[in-house]
Amino acid sequence: MSNFEKKIIESIENEFENNILLPDYESIMLYLYYIVVYTGQCNIMFCNSFIQEAIQLLKNSLILYKKGFFDCAFYSIRQSSEVMDSMLYLAKSPSEKVNDWKSKSYFPVDSKVRQQLEKISNDYKEIKSLLPDFFRHHEELIIKIHKIIHKQGFDTFYQLRTPINRKITNYSQEDEIALFLETLKYTIGKLLILIVILDPMCLALADENVNGKINMNLMTEPIDTTFFENILGLSDIVSKIKSSNYYKDFVSYFEEKEEMLPVTYSVIREQFWNIDKLNEIENQFHMLSTDEKFMFNILKSGIKASLFYYAGGLGWYSTSNMSNLKEFSVNTIDFQNYAKSRESFNQKRKNVYISVIKQSKDDFLFIEHNMPFNKDEINKLLELEKKHLEYLEKCEYEMDKILNL
């Protein structure tokens, strides 16, 4: 290929690439980067891939529009909306539908998916009926961008959008940018709403009247409830969802539950022990998990732990007794070696120590501490370990009795 031909190709590649100034580009891109929406329901974990894909498509749309590839940008927004519809449809359908989707067998188009959702999901139907204006406006925006995606009108042609041709086609970049941003923002809003329909725990965790009563450390993440008012200027979206029978039935389970104290909340939801507040935590000892009760007893006995590692080092609880280890890193092979070591206590880890005790028959609790444990402290840990394992054995025995009735 000659240099001249290379220049031709380069010219073609760059002919319509621009650097369009998009208002809110940085803030929306960062919002999509930082947004954390995740369901922890085991039976619908596959939906997290759909959620991440939908978010990625919205990021792509911003990049594409900024570079001048307007039709691809609008198509990417529509794809994001359709991915979320498909996600909810599959989550509410028998597992065979997921298998059909994976094998690329027949799958209904988006309009049919939405029709089916109203038939198979009362939750979707109810929420949609409570937010008719939102869903109607989003559909109107999608219909508008279809005209651009399907190239209806000369103003959707690349060659006729140049400054010299704009008077002929009546193309307005300002109007199109406004349409693009509004459609993008409403699609983000739709994503948040469908996630609540998928897993209402996402909203419960963001509900100040409920969150403090959920004494579980969940994989599910709370949604951003401020988006609708701050970005779309819609102040009643969240309150309308909360007024639904779907949501009220879900949170009714937590209504009579005891609310966690801030220090208990820190342990259960943030995996942090404030050693100076152990007496307060003890008042809600019954709210702790079995493993957390074990850690509490260790700390209450005066053991100066900085961190508790579990699941082979993949999970941990920190304490207010700050670690001397400034560079935090986890290597599961190291923890396997700690568990296999003949010396369970005071194993050196850089400028701190690791001691290993049994958390259950097959699992270990790794305790990080700044100073080596003395004989008294080791004996305390061994005694606490023994009591903990005896308690687990008793629980297992009682459970077997119930199951064998």
Q: How confident is the model at residue 249 (pLDDT cuts 50, 70, 90)?
A: very high
| Residue among 382, 333, 330 nearest 358 (CA) | 382
- What one-letter code names the amino acid at 5? E
List of domains in the chain: 15-253 (no CATH), 262-404 (3.30.450)
CA distances from 393 to 42, 295, 351 (A): 27, 18, 36
Q: Which residues pair with 355 in a beta bridge?
A: 367
Mind listing the pLDDT tens digit for each residue in 166-192?
Answer: 777 777 888 999 999 999 999 999 999
Q: Does pLDDT of 265 surpass 90?
A: yes
- pLDDT in the model for residue 374: 95
Mind listing the pLDDT tens digit for each residue in 333-381?
Answer: 999 999 998 889 999 988 999 999 999 988 999 999 999 999 999 999 9
Q: Does pLDDT of 13 surpass 70?
A: no
CA distances from 40 to 53, 175, 189 (A): 17, 41, 21
Percent of the chain scored above 70 by pLDDT?
97
Region class of 346: left (phi > 0), else alpha (psi between -120 and 50), else beta:
left
- pLDDT in the model for residue 375: 95
Q: Does pLDDT of 43 surpass 90?
A: no
Q: In the numeric block, which tokens belong to residue 387? A: 């009591």
159 burial (CB, 10 Å; 0-12 / 13-18 / 19+) is exposed
Q: Is 367 helix (H, G, I), strand (E, B) or coil?
A: strand
- pTM of the predicted structure, to 2 decimals: 0.86
- Per the listing, tokens 């929306």 go with 28
Mind listing the pLDDT tens digit for each residue in 126-168?
Answer: 999 999 999 999 999 999 999 989 989 888 888 777 777 777 7
Per-residue 3-state assignment (H helix, E strand, C coil) for 288-328: CCHHHHHHHHHHHCCCCCCEEEEHHHCEEEEECCCCCCCCC
For residues 113-130, give the mean pLDDT: 95
Residue scoring higher pLDDT (21 or 133): 133
Mind listing the pLDDT tens digit for each residue in 197-206?
Answer: 999 999 999 9
